[in-house]
Amino acid sequence: MAKKWGIRAVLAFLIYLLIMYVYIFHLNDGGIPVSLLGSTSDPKTFMTGQELILSEEYSKIRNFLFFILTPFEWLMYFFILISGLSYLFEKWSMVSKWKVIHNSIYLFLLSLLTFAVFFPINYLRYTLSKGYGISTQDFSSWMRDNVIDFWVNFVITVIVISVLYWIIKKSTKRWWLYAWLLTIPFSIFLMYLQPVIIDPLYNEFYPLKNKELEEKILHLAEQANIPAEHVFEVNMADKTNALNAYVTGVGDNSRIVLWDTTLERLTDEEILFIMGHEMGHYVEKHIYIGIFGYILMMFVGLWLISKIMPWFIKKYGKVFKITNIHQIHSLPLLLLLSSFLLFFSNPIFNTVSRYQEARADQFALEIVQEPEAAITGFQKLAKAGLSEVNPPALVKWFRYTHPPMIERIKTIEDTIKNK
């Protein structure tokens, strides 16, 4: 039976891969509405012919990889289960009576296998980014980031999974509720640590060097009634040509961060609009709304998994070599179900996120009052990242947490016309 399931799973994945290939590479031309031709949202007005070609190619490859990677992850977990690898990993990890050591060995073996399986794909993405001029990172630096990723995720996973399976063993019916209650303080704690412990492992952060610009940003924050003492910049030029700025952390560890690439290639007015956008997130409490949304998602997700997982084990436990939900080698099944639910919840959360981003844009327009700088800033962001300004519907629903550039620029154009 396991062999038949494996063949069917591979065939289903190949059919899906073909469908997505046709959809992304042949059913969408990446064009823009006729009414917007020649406008400031038309990429032909701010990209060269070569940049337009590269943008189309790069966007299609990235979109295709996005849509096949998650189902490939499902396929990997499925084969780990039906091949008995997960069962063997648990068997090999039984070298100590201490449960935490047992769990750590199992999770190390599973994490190492996952890292190895995905390494060629991640390397392909890295070489593509280098080839299209987005990444400037050398291989040793890229590899270093991957190793840091592995160990950071491993430590967090050991803590989370050890606690989770201890709860499952103690309460096989209500484990999902107790686990959900614990995710609330743990998630907030991680968000609190992110800016000061985790992020500096990857990049160097320091207060904004341009004190004149910092004064302008802090004055803008004062207008918005935002308590702020410093703006941070991060050294990204050694890794990317892309531009970015963001808000991270919670409480007294929250901070506004600018990439040094953004500082080098945008004017003060364009940077102030971006800062106004990030301040809009703060004023409208989007970070806390995001936390609430994440907590709600975890509640629904854990409840669904608590219903689906026992059913799977009861019906197909022999095939997966799982007899009880509290056995840690059932973890690939839990990860498969989690990944599946998360993937199909993307359109909902992305829709909310795009609304929040549009609101932040509107706030920035009101407080900065530099719509022309906003347009040129968006154009430079699109050029730097070879962004697809008008993505296909499925790509927008599943990938875009921000409105496409064509929508953001058109909104600003409409604002200027209505003045």
329 is in an annotated binding site: no
Active site residue 252: no
Active site residue 278: yes
Residue with tokens 């609330």: 184
**CA–CA separation, 28 vs 391, rounded Å?**
9
Residue with tokens 């050294």: 235
What is residue 344's three-state secondary structure?
helix
Catalytic member of 90, 278, 388, 407: 278
Provide the angle, in degrees to the nearest 10, between the axes of the packed helices 405-417 and 331-368. Answer: 20
Phi, psi of 173 (to 5 degrees): -100, -40
277 is in an annotated binding site: yes
Sheet containing 232-234: give its strands across.
205-207, 232-234, 255-259, 245-248
284 is in an annotated binding site: no
Catalytic member of 233, 260, 361, 370: 361
Cross-strand bridge partners of residue 135? 240
3-state class percentages of the chain: helix first, strand second, coil last, to nearest 5: 75, 5, 20
DSSP sequence for 222-286 = HHTT---S--EEE--TTTBS---EEEE-SGGG-EEEEEHHHHHHS-HHHHHHHHHHHHHHHHTTH
**CA–CA separation, 132 vs 214, rounded Å?**
33
Tokens representing residue 186 in the block = 């743990």
- What letter would DSSP give residue 46? T
Q: Which residues are catalytic?
A: 278, 361
Annotated binding site for Zn(2+): 277, 281, 357
Which residues define the annotated binding site? 277, 281, 357
